[in-house]
Chains A and B, each alone.
Chain A
Amino acid sequence: AQKITQTQPGMFVQEKEAVTLDCTYDTSDPSYGLFWYKQPSSGEMIFLIYQGSYDQQNATEGRYSLNFQKARKSANLVISASQLGDSAMYFCAMRENFGNEKLTFGTGTRLTIIP
């Protein structure tokens, strides 16, 4: 079974609108972390936001917020007021077992912002 599922291969969003990128995960480990990364065409993986499984509040970083629904095992990324520079691939990833730095990635969502 897929550990990280991103069901949206591609999305087109109008500039300045908010966008939600979906991510569901599967783990039996009570200790895990969830990450979102942005990968522009240059190839660099840019860290956006992190949510730990024991964190009580949803993580936020500027225009990025993570809608963490533990019971549903979902960790959707919300980008508010999208900008042209947000066009990129977005990857959701999970790390199980604290002390283990291995990330399992989803297949990614290609986001295109339309002016």
Chain B
Amino acid sequence: KAGVTQTPRYLIKTRGQQVTLSCSPISGHRSVSWYQQTPGQGLQFLFEYFSETQRNKGNFPGRFSGRQFSNSRSEMNVSTLELGDSALYLCASSLAVGAANTGELFFGEGSRLTVL
């Protein structure tokens, strides 16, 4: 069974550019969430998508956006990049069937973004 797949794994952008990251969840998983990891702030929740709807959102500016497609694949976009956006962006998927959920939530290998 394939795991969570994130592309690209590494990318370098310059300030002011925009970037799109992709996440393919484990087959059958309906929830996809995104996290930003930096040395200073640690792991922070960006947003979660379930059945193509954003169900939860973290405390990030509007430059950070995302979407989910009918096949559960998700993309996140960061516009007008700033130096502080340099981070490891992690995507996680889960079955997300409410109270019956066993709780397991699986991450991809991440996309490492460097903003110059």
Residues of A within 8 A of B (CB): 31, 33, 35, 37, 42-47, 50, 52, 91, 93, 95, 98-105, 107-108
Residues of B within 8 A of A (CB): 31, 33, 35, 42-43, 45, 48, 50, 55-56, 58, 88, 90, 92, 94, 96, 98-99, 101-110, 112
| A47, A98, A101 — most chain B CB neighbours (10 Å) | A101
Can you give 9 A-B contacts (C-beta < 8 A)?
A47-B107, A91-B43, A99-B96, A101-B105, A102-B45, A102-B56, A103-B45, A103-B92, A107-B42
Residues of B within 8 A of A31 (CB): 99
A-B residue pairs, 8 tightest by C-beta: A45-B107, A105-B43, A50-B103, A44-B109, A33-B103, A98-B99, A99-B98, A43-B110
Residues of B within 8 A of A91 (CB): 43
Contact between B109 and A108 (Cβ–Cβ < 8 Å)? Answer: no
Given contacts A50-B103, A50-B104, A107-B42, contact A101 B50 (CB under 8 A): yes
Nearest chain-A residue to B50 (Cβ)?
A101
Nearest chain-B residue to A42 (Cβ)?
B109
Given contacts A98-B98, A101-B31, A102-B56, contact A47 B106 (CB under 8 A): yes
